[in-house]
Structure 1
Amino acid sequence: MAGKETKKGRKTGLDEAAIRGLAEEAVFARGRAYRDEGAVSDVVRRGDTVTARVEGSETYRVTVRIDAGEVDDYACTCPYEWGGACKHVVATLLTLIEAPEEAQERPSLAVVIGSLDRDALARLLLRRAEIDPGLAGWIEAECAAAPGSDADPAPVAAQARAVLAGRYAERDYWDDYRPAGDPAELRDLVDKAVPRLEAGDGRGALGILEAVAEVFVEDWIETSGGYDDETLYPLFQDLGRMMAEAALMSDLDEDERASLADTMTDWDAALAEYGVEDSFALAVRALEIGWDPPALQAILNGEGGKDSGTWPPKGEADWTEGELTAVRLRVLDAAGRHDAYLHLARAAQAHAAAALMLVRLGRIEEAVAYARKAFGHPDDALALARALAEAGRAEESLAVAEAGLSFEPNESVSLRGAHSVVPLARWLREAATESGRADLALTAARAAFAGSLARADFEAARAVAGKTWTSVRRDLLKTLRAAERAPERTEILLDEGLVDEAVKDVGGAPGYAVPEAVLLRLMEAAQSSHSDWVIRVARSRADAIMDAGAAGDYAQAAEWLRRAALAHESAGLIDEWSATIEALIERHRRKYKLRPLLEALRF
């Protein structure tokens, strides 16, 4: 289905296949049912943002952002949290492409607000504040946190308290508490300190962060009872990292540092009782040692000495100091202390950070030479190759990336973790193609597929192989067959017409390890040559749904049975299928939603 025209003549750029890719197959089917039942209303498009109401067990609000014809982001007020888009988002998007005339086109808020003068905007906000009790607090917090103003933590703390209280409002949900509200509001509170960090105002940032952290810790425990909330856990960690950065750029005296460190130690002790460990350990470490160690000062000043060139000192490396070194580098960068940055990056074996700083300083040859000597990880090579390409140094960029293909990913005491060569190989494949280096592009394509065993990388290798594809295909399939685990092996084999191998790869199990869409494709391709297999797997999948009484999935059960019916037909077993479907109709005769679907499967 092509992108549909709206009343204004704009195309959505979406089609059903793209929407299917956002959700699980069963979720898409439910979204389709919601759309067909007319559950979607009040669809409004403002610029690239679409909002809608969807009637389900409650009325839910959906927001979707579309950028360059693709879904960039989506949100729904429903509690769905099992990965991918929910059925309400699916229903909204289907409405947008199938009935664009239902979407009201309105100017974006930026356009509307931009048309108002200062007094009109003030009057508008004041009128809204009269009916929206939370607006005044939000405005006060925004103004208090703005760079250039005195950092007053009180309005920020009050706003944090309001957001968190709303998140744990009591609802009729298993007589318990569950998170409500928008997690983005919580993130926004933490991010209010970012402009001050970027401006070098560590003390101001610290005031904001301390106010937010105190509320997050104390009110979360009091209001939610330590509810298992995966949204807040990473926020606690981010607060700790940002407070460490603010502390290192602040002019706190010894008593202030000790007092704040004690406070954060108490926070960690309170959180630990609810399974949240060491959120503020990094900030405590920053406050305790600051920039004080003589060995650290010697490194920053570029002073030599046999044992003074490594940080942290031998025997003192741990995760806290490794993270703290990354924070120190950000602080030095913000302060423009580039020599000290390079000294510390080299001493800490943060090789990519050192090379990237050299590129930023225009010292390209030195950066490449340093990489040749120090690099040993694909991620480092990728970071530098990208920076060199952006600097217009294509030849050096390709050379660094090619060398990185031979690096073995592993853990080290530096600031990086273990990653594969795949991201580097993919980048090099595209960059070499753009530069006309077909040989290098193919080398990178082989490396990408060997590391990922992904269908997309198989197809990318086909695109760059040209006339050599026959031999390249043979090599890639050999690699695929030899792999112990390859999640997309079935789909690749199916794409290549190797149906017998694809069936063997799925095996006799119900095929739950294979995406439903792939399994359905394979059944269609195999219904004549492997009819027994299709019948067995399709019946297994359908019976599991029907026996569980999962009414919302009955349409999917019928689709599995349709595949079984086609396989019976291909095998000349129509009488057997007729007996089978009649037995199923009788067996499930009390399931009024299922019975018509089964009756439609009679020959």
Structure 2
Amino acid sequence: MPIRSLDETSIRALATRESFERGRDYWRRGAVSTLVRRGDELTGEVEGSEIEPYHVTIRLYEGGVTNARCTCLYDWGGYCKHIVAALLKFAKDPDAVMERPSLRELLNSLDHGRLVDLIIRRLNSDPKLGGWIEAELATQPHPGRRTPIDPEPVAAQARTVLAGRYRQRHYWDDYRSSGDIEELHALVDKAVPFLETGDGRNALRILETIADTFVVEWIEFASGSDEHMYELFVDLGRMMAEAVLMSDLKAAERDALVDTVSGWQDQLSDYGAEEGFGLTLRALETGWNEPALQAVLAGEAKTWPPADYDDDWEERELTAVRLRVLDAANRTDAYLNLARAAGAHPSVAIMLAKLDRMSEALAYARETFTLPDESLQLAKVLRDGGRHEEALAIAESGLSLGRSKRGDNNEADDEGFELADTWVGGWRPGRSVVPLAQWLRDYAGPMGRRDLALKAARTAFEHTLSLEDYRAVEVWAGENWKSVRRELLDLLKAARQARDRAEILLDEGLIDDAVRSVGEGESYETSDDVLMRLMDAAHASHPDWVIRVAERKAARIMDAGSAGVYDLAAKWLERAAQAYDAAGRIDEWSARIEGLIEQHRRKYKLRPLLEALRYDR
């Protein structure tokens, strides 16, 4: 079955301009092979720069793409070129896609004996599979289970995963992080089903076992060098806090666990992971018994946390944990009371939606939401629940909650995003409208709502003034691009700051405007690469500017004796030479380069680069 609206336009919107162009080149060169579709999953191999091809996995739905992963290391926004190439082949050459039954269908067709034989054969070539199976079976939840799980298979699997992550690769690589962080998260996530069903004790057994192994093994093998583990310890601590609040621990059990967790925290603090298990300790200390908290849960008090907890981020985070525990226990009234008292507006609206009180949820959102990311949280939940029209409507209304345009003020950080005011607990998100606008753009377009995708794309660009968001507007503007382009460029030119301004103007062929925006090239706003591209385009029309800026850039490198970047100085001087030639001043250049050769004659790495710049008549 073809995927509606998955065409080149919608694929282009999923990636940066460079990734899309390179992905399209990969597709045209036939780099995509073995494209297989199993139900809503598309997999393929794409030849790249490594000997082994990259593996791409794409999750599809009727309106486009919900998720995609690639084994390459790309992590710079949008999907990578390999995913783009696979999507283009899927959209443009459907006959090349092999339709296969899903693995679930294949396995369901086997009787018990054949399935066991299949697994045993695989174990002969993959001995680690046995440990994985034992850990999976040991942590398999089932309705009504309260028997204690066996933690030893979990501990063994944790040691296996970490040994793979910190194994010594090759002698020239030294020790480096080599395992997949997703494996580590998958191991921690074994506790999630127990948390979701309110089985805090078994969740705690899993998490305590994993945490103890991770702390010891990480310190022994990694020596605090893996920042991913810092984040994982925080996740572990948060989940353990949830399990603690979900479990009816006896005083002796609580005291023993406090000693254990305090020991982990002391060890981690020596390696800079101070926040790892602080939340767990807070949960162990406070529990549910505080009278003020009990009053809130019963609906007898309207504010949480109390005034003496103001600006206590850990208490706000713990409140978010409490909400998850109440959700798992189906204590919806207490959940709504606490969420309202804490000002967790998205949590209230999301719970109302889950209770199928949709009109109440939407009304509450429109009445209370003041930040764009609040709308984004609710919109994602509505989308995942198949309520697409409601999701689009809430997201669109959230666009108006953003601050003033970047072009109208300068309340933005260096990355082009507005200043954020974030609560760790998750209900007071950043003020920037950009994440919502980009999400809505990429969601509405493949759903066939090009008008809404254009509105969201324009909103994103108005706040970031980035090249990527500019090109996204072009994708969805269609036949209106000419008039929209003029409005965007006027906004770009008037902005006080815009990191991609020169590049956008250059790409649009507005050389005079680009040169004016760069000035004397002293701003960090324009990269050397863009500045050189601009010089290549402007050397005939603005030779004096090119000569002045290029020679100054080169002189700083040469005079500083920065031998490692002499080649960069030569590149600047190449641009100057082009401008001298275009202006009919080649004799002046010849004299200039001879003077530089003489001036730097003792710099043996620089001199041949300068001599190569002599004008050859």
Fold-level similarity (TM above 0.5): yes
1:73 is aligned with what amino acid? R
Are 2:308 and 1:315 aligned?
A: yes
Are 2:270 and 1:273 aligned?
A: yes
1:378–1:66 CA distance, 2 compared to 1 (3 A): closer
Segments of 5+ residues of structure 2 without an aligned counterpart are: 1-7, 405-417
Corresponding position of 1:417? 429
Pairwise mapping of residues 6-21 of structure 1 onto structure 2 (< 5 A)?
21=18
CA distance in 1, matches of 2:537, 2:397: 44
Are 2:146 and 1:152 aligned?
A: no
Q: 2:515 aligns with which of 503, 508, 513?
A: 503
Corresponding position of 1:351? 345
* Aligned partners of 1:171 and 1:178 also within 8 Å: yes
Are 2:519 and 1:525 aligned?
A: no
1:73–1:466 CA distance, 2 compared to 1 (3 A): closer
1:50–1:557 CA distance, 2 compared to 1 (3 A): farther
DSSP-derived class of the 1:320 partner: helix
Deviation string, structure 1 residues 79-114 (Cα, Å, up to 9, x no partner): x799689x9x98x979x99xx9xx999979938767
CA distance in 1, matches of 2:493, 2:382: 37
Corresponding position of 2:123? 129
1:139–1:443 CA distance, 2 compared to 1 (3 A): closer
Corresponding position of 1:332? 326
Pairwise mapping of residues 397-412 of structure 1 onto structure 2 (< 5 A)?
397=394, 400-401=397-398, 404-405=401-402, 411=421
CA deviation after TM superposition for structure 1 residue 298, in Å: 1.8
Corresponding position of 1:7? none
Q: 1:206 aligns with which of 174, 184, 204?
A: 204
Corresponding position of 1:486? 498
1:347 is aligned with what amino acid? A
CA distance in 2, matches of 1:499, 1:183: 46
* Aligned partners of 1:63 and 1:75 also within 8 Å: yes
* Aligned partners of 1:44 and 1:50 also within 8 Å: yes
CA deviation after TM superposition for structure 1 residue 229, in Å: 0.5
1:189–1:542 CA distance, 2 compared to 1 (3 A): farther
Deviation string, structure 1 residues 254-277 (Cα, Å, up to 9, x no partner): 322232222111111110011111
Q: 1:294 aligns with which of 291, 294, 298?
A: 291
CA distance in 1, matches of 2:121, 2:481: 70
2:304 is aligned with what amino acid? W
1:64–1:532 CA distance, 2 compared to 1 (3 A): farther
CA distance in 2, matches of 1:65, 1:431: 19
Percentage identity across paired residues of the two chains: 47
CA distance in 1, matches of 2:393, 2:512: 46
Segments of 5+ residues of structure 1 without an aligned counterpart are: 1-10
1:172–1:521 CA distance, 2 compared to 1 (3 A): same
Are 2:185 and 1:192 aligned?
A: no
Deviation string, structure 1 residues 496-521 (Cα, Å, up to 9, x no partner): 54322312333444887545774465
1:193–1:162 CA distance, 2 compared to 1 (3 A): same
Worse overlay, 427-436 or 168-177? 427-436
Corresponding position of 2:235? 238
Deviation string, structure 1 residues 577-597 (Cα, Å, up to 9, x no partner): 89999999x99xx99xx99xx
CA distance in 1, matches of 2:157, 2:438: 44
CA distance in 2, matches of 1:179, 1:526: 46
CA distance in 2, matches of 1:75, 1:336: 39
CA distance in 1, matches of 2:394, 2:115: 50
* Aligned partners of 1:151 and 1:204 also within 8 Å: yes
CA deviation after TM superposition for structure 1 residue 55, in Å: 8.7
CA distance in 1, matches of 2:253, 2:481: 68
Corresponding position of 1:63? 55
1:464–1:146 CA distance, 2 compared to 1 (3 A): same
* Aligned partners of 1:358 and 1:367 also within 8 Å: yes
CA distance in 1, matches of 2:120, 2:332: 48
Deviation string, structure 1 residues 45-101 (Cα, Å, up to 9, x no partner): 665444589897xx777434456799933335xxx799689x9x98x979x99xx9x
DSSP-derived class of the 2:163 partner: helix
Are 2:225 and 1:228 aligned?
A: yes
CA deviation after TM superposition for structure 1 residue 136, in Å: 1.6
CA deviation after TM superposition for structure 1 residue 530, in Å: 2.1
DSSP-derived class of the 1:283 partner: helix
2:433 is aligned with what amino acid? V
1:419–1:24 CA distance, 2 compared to 1 (3 A): farther
CA distance in 1, matches of 2:294, 2:362: 27
Normalising by structure 2, we get a TM-score of 0.70
* Aligned partners of 1:409 and 1:421 also within 8 Å: no
DSSP-derived class of the 1:72 partner: strand
Worse overlay, 537-546 or 283-292? 537-546
Are 2:180 and 1:170 aligned?
A: no
CA distance in 2, matches of 1:432, 1:64: 24
1:316–1:61 CA distance, 2 compared to 1 (3 A): same
CA distance in 1, matches of 2:20, 2:471: 23
CA distance in 2, matches of 1:412, 1:129: 47
1:495–1:180 CA distance, 2 compared to 1 (3 A): closer
Deviation string, structure 1 residues 104-138 (Cα, Å, up to 9, x no partner): 99979938767765434433432343344322212
Corresponding position of 2:408? none
Deviation string, structure 1 residues 532-568 (Cα, Å, up to 9, x no partner): 54567678589979986689xx8x9999888667656
DSSP-derived class of the 1:485 partner: coil
- Larger RCO: Structure 1 or Structure 2 (Cα < 8 Å, ≥ 6 residues apart)? 2
Measured on the aligned residues, the alpha-carbon RMSD in Å equals 5.6
CA distance in 2, matches of 1:519, 1:218: 50
DSSP-derived class of the 1:315 partner: helix
* Aligned partners of 1:65 and 1:72 also within 8 Å: yes
CA distance in 2, matches of 1:531, 1:263: 71
CA deviation after TM superposition for structure 1 residue 201, in Å: 2.2
CA deviation after TM superposition for structure 1 residue 346, in Å: 0.6
Worse overlay, 288-297 or 104-113? 104-113
